[in-house]
Chain A
Amino acid sequence: MKHAVSEKEIIEYLRSLKLAEGDYPSDLFKARREMFIRQAASLAMTLHLSGGNGGGISSSSASHSTFLPTMGTLVEIVLVTVIIIEAGLTAYLYRERIAERLNPTASPRVEQTIEAPANPLLENISITGEIPVSATPSPASTTTATGTLSSTTPTAQETNIKDTQVSGTPTPRDHPGLHLGQTPKPERTLPSDKPDKPGDDGGGKDREPRDDREPKKNR
């Protein structure tokens, strides 16, 4: 059998339910109350120290408290930027010293002396020069030697070379691949007025002199 419960009855039962409940245990309540009072006192003290107006918090101070973190962030950003700029500037100004410190073996200060060679042929050759050592602390230092080389005794090689004519390679023309019209024309030799010597065979074996020809008969 089903027991019908009306809506009103349910509400009445619910209302009567609130009377039959456990109270706040006294020990828990006391402990919680003391803690709450202590919290309130410390908070009030903190606000007094930070310049609150008698414990009350106005809306202006609330907005001030939200304003402070923003200002703090801005100041922090500005400080970091200034520090970075200053560090960069210092590094630029003292870059040489920094490089020296970082890599002390890069720029040695060495005086370079060149000894004369033991070759007897080169005994009389004197080398005078300066070897400046660049002070730049680059890892690959460049050494430039400038000097004059003077020789007093002519060598045998020089004399031998004097008699020898060496034809050098012709200078290339403007058009290295096109040689048309560039062939030198053969020079025409004019016939000499003197008659060839009778005993002179040189060069005219097959050819008879014009004067020795038989005169043509006139018809």
Chain B
Amino acid sequence: MARDDVALLKAAQKLDEEALAAIFDEFAPAIYKYALRLCHDPILADNIVGDVFAQLLEQFAAGKGPRTNLRSYLYQTAYHLVVDRSRDNKHSAPLEIAINLQEKGQSVSTQSQIEERVLMEALVSAMNSVLTEDQRHVIILRFLEDFSLKETAEIIGKDVNNVKVIQNRGIAKLRKALGFQLGDEQ
């Protein structure tokens, strides 16, 4: 953690408005994306962001909260909120990521771009369909949010070795699923 971040965190613990606003600006978009990946609902993702930062305020007011790794702490809170809500509301998730991919594609003209788009859609589909909840969390945290094994283990509350096993199994499943899907298409 950088020295600036430590200073920012200390100021936020004293409920300094500027520090809190800076923290929100830095982490809220990332938390939103993470929540959106998991729950696939923009409104729900926005609510989760609100809850995450409200809990942070409560912790600061009670003299608790993170002392060092604020990012990891925020993701951990978001993870628990997403898990709680997914237990309440189990619905098949739409593939917003794939839609966004389609919107973002400027001109799908070249052969490689078409192949890449097909592969991405297959990957997102496989993530939503073949992976277990734990595997999906670990894969997202490790490769989409760039958390280390240790941080990922802290966020989801598991052992590092356990996280390794979950990650390897998840990747193996994705490989298998993508191989079948691409093979079918070809």
Contact = CB atoms under 8 A, between A and B. Distances in A.
Tell me if chain B binds chain A. Answer: yes
Interface string B1-41: 00000000000011111001100110011001100110000
Given A2-B180, A14-B139, A39 B28 contact: no
A3 interface: yes
Interface in A25-52: 25, 28-29, 32-33, 35-37, 39-41, 43-44, 47
B28 A32 contact: yes
Given A14-B143, A18-B144, A36-B24, 7 more contacts: A24-B33, A25-B42, A28-B46, A33-B28, A37-B20, A59-B63, A65-B62
Contact of A44 (B15, B143, B174, B183): B15
B102 to A, nearest CB: 9
A14 B42 contact: no
28 contacts: A2-B180, A10-B174, A10-B175, A13-B123, A14-B123, A15-B143, A17-B120, A17-B124, A17-B144, A20-B104, A23-B29, A25-B42, A32-B24, A32-B28, A32-B46, A32-B50, A33-B24, A33-B25, A36-B20, A36-B54, A39-B54, A39-B57, A44-B15, A55-B14, A57-B15, A59-B63, A61-B63, A62-B64
Contact of B33 (A21, A32, A33): A21
A149 interface: no
A22 B100 contact: yes
B147 interface: no
Interface of B: 13-17, 20-21, 24-25, 28-29, 32-33, 36-37, 42, 46, 49-50, 53-54, 57, 60-64, 96-97, 100-101, 104, 119-120, 123-124, 139, 143-145, 171, 174-175, 178-180, 182-183, 186
Contacts of B54: 36, 39
Contact of B179 (A5, A25, A35): A5
B127 to A, nearest CB: 8
A71 interface: no
Question: Most B CB atoms within 10 A — which of A11, A25, A28?
Answer: A28
Interface of A: 1-7, 10-11, 13-18, 20-25, 28-29, 32-33, 35-37, 39-41, 43-44, 47, 54-59, 61-62, 65
B126 to A, nearest CB: 10
Contact of A22 (B14, B21, B42): B42
Main SS class of interface, B:
helix
A17 B183 CA distance: 21
A56 B144 CA distance: 35
Contacts of A44: 15, 17
A1 to B, nearest CB: 6
Contact of B144 (A15, A35, A58): A15
B20 A20 contact: no
Contacts of B120: 13, 16-17, 20
A7 B15 CA distance: 45
Nearest to B59: A57
A56 B14 contact: yes
A43 to B, nearest CB: 5
A21 B97 CA distance: 6
Contacts of B143: 11, 14-15, 18
A1 B15 CA distance: 60
Contacts of A7: 171, 175
Nearest to A40: B20
A37 B25 CA distance: 11
B50 A55 contact: no
B42 A28 contact: yes
A10 B101 contact: no
A44 B13 CA distance: 11
Contacts of A15: 143-144
